[in-house]
Amino acid sequence: MHSQTAPAGGRLRRRWSRPVLVLTLLAGLSGCGSDNDLLPVSKRAPPGLDGGNAISASVSGGCPAVATHTFQQVAEHFYEEIQSGPVVEVAIRRLERSPALIAAVQAGDRRAARSILRGLLADQLVRVWLLRNGRLWLQIGKSPALAPVSGALQNAAGQTIGKLLVASQSIRTYANSIAQLTGAQVVLFEGQRELRSTDPSLKVTAQSLHAGSVFFAHGLKYRIVSFAGHSFPDARIQVALLLGSSLIACGETPAQTNANAIGEVAQRIYRGESAGRKVRVILREMERSSRFLRAVASRDPVATRGAIVGFFRSHAHIVRVRVTVGSRLLVDVGGPYVLAPIRGKLSRAGTVIGRFVTSIQDDAGYLKLVHLFTGAQVLIRSGGRQLMATLPPDSAELRLPDRGTVTYHGAGYQVYSFAVQAFPSGPLRISLLLAGA
């Protein structure tokens, strides 16, 4: 893969050359939730049908080399999106175009500038430096972060009165998210110093970071792949993925192996929507909500709907809630096409007074997320009906195997299909089509 990393603090405005993909992360798609909060998220439109953005088996060697290279590309695409994707672009633009922030910087009012920055960030950025007269004047956030991006504040005359340096993701979140997506152990180094490891007991050293090298720990064999990036504010770092042999799903051809690895990423994204820490936190909050409990206990659909809308407004990443009391449906609030149902119960004094099914991701959000992480075309079907797809409507006529190849508009695709759960119950079938079969 031929990817580039912007200079520290640089703005990477270009889109990536083939086969680097346009990816978004998780937080603003309708729904969006996961065990490690894959952040940020956008609603970028799908790319064209030429397959130019799809991860491909573009490396020589056997199955392990192809699979580890695929996972490496996923991690690199994630990094590049953090540095140059729409979430950070929008955040920078909001800051640069804020008259109130510009006025506060001109006036030298640090307190006002801090208040304005906090109001504008909306949880999109984890670090902000604001420089005035060439010196650090204000900073927000302390978490070690990566992929810094720069901006500038200008007055009405077009003169630069302040410079911005921001980051949209912490090193911890990035490492955990990549581990969640790929199943790899992730280690980040700045020179010889370890910044973060998802498994410190492995005791990986910077010298171990040679692409394609092998590392042994706890009686297990890992393949290591790595790539370069930057930490905040300006230091070169190395990101390493350690992949065990159990993660490798070998196909008969490199294209099949690549599809198997991409399929694993897609299934991991789904599992993150239906289980894990985020899901447990949301269930606990809903099950302990006094407003929700009172409404259901009184069998009041209006009050119950109000409590559910309260969950939506609290940014709990909930997209639909269905409440039953016994066999009676009390309310069903949210979008029509939802997946990954999560089940909870409401109890008082040890007695169950109602049950609910909720979800933190809808079909459209999941489809966009997988497409943007992997470049695969994604089709979601229920029975013989196609609910949505990144391909045009005529793709509904395609007969898609669980594994294999298909031709669409004269192009060959490798197919990877798997089953998931619709909301509130029933099967859905996800099919991934990767160009270049």
Grouping H, G, I as helix, E, B as strand and the rest as coil, residue 258 is helix
Q: Which residue has the higher pLDDT, 31 or 121?
A: 121
Among candidates 70, 71, 137, which has minimal Cα distance to 107? 137
pLDDT of residue 374: 86
Burial zone of 108 (CB within 10 Å; 0-12 exposed, 13-18 middle, 19+ buried): exposed
pLDDT at 19: 24
pLDDT at residue 21 tops 50: no
Q: Is the pLDDT of residue 23 over 60?
A: no
Hey, CA dihedral for 138, 141, 142, 146, is it positive or negative? Answer: negative
Residues contacting residue 221 through CB under 8 Å, at least 6 positions apart? 214, 215, 244, 245
Please provide the average confidence, as pLDDT, over all residues in the chain.
Answer: 85
Whether the predicted pLDDT of 195 surpasses 90: yes
Residue 264, pLDDT score:
94
pLDDT digits (tens, 9 = 90+) for 275-325: 888 899 999 999 999 999 999 999 999 999 999 999 988 866 899 999 999
Q: Residue 437's pLDDT band (boundaries 50, 70, 90)?
A: low
Average pLDDT on 319-339 reads 95
Q: What 8-state DSSP symbol labels residue 364?
A: H
DSSP string, 16-65: PPTTPPP---SSSSSS---TT-------PPP--TT-TTS----S-SSHHH
Identify the pLDDT of residue 315: 63
Confidence of residue 266 (pLDDT cuts 50, 70, 90): very high
pLDDT tens digits for range 229-254: 999 999 999 999 999 877 667 888 99
Does the pLDDT of residue 117 top 50, yes or no? yes
What pLDDT is attached to residue 244? 87
74: phi > 0 → left, psi -120 to 50 → alpha, else beta; which? alpha
Residue 212: its pLDDT value, please? 64
pLDDT of 109 higher than 60: yes
Is the Cα dihedral 80, 251, 409, 362 positive or negative? negative
CA 344 to chain centre: 25
384-405: pLDDT as tens digits: 899 999 999 999 999 999 999 9
pLDDT of amino acid 37: 34
pLDDT at position 162 is: 97
State pLDDT tens for residues 86-101: 888 999 999 999 999 9
Confidence band of 330 (pLDDT split at 50, 70, 90): very high
Q: What is the pLDDT of residues 29-71, one digit of tens each?
A: 333 433 333 322 233 333 334 444 556 556 566 888 888 899 9
Of 20, 124, 1, 5, residue with least CA distance to 77? 20
Q: What is the pTM (predicted TM-score) of this model?
A: 0.81
Secondary structure (3-state) at 239: strand
Higher pLDDT, 277 or 172: 172
Q: Which of 59-73, 154-168, 255-269, 318-332 has the lowest mean pLDDT?
A: 59-73
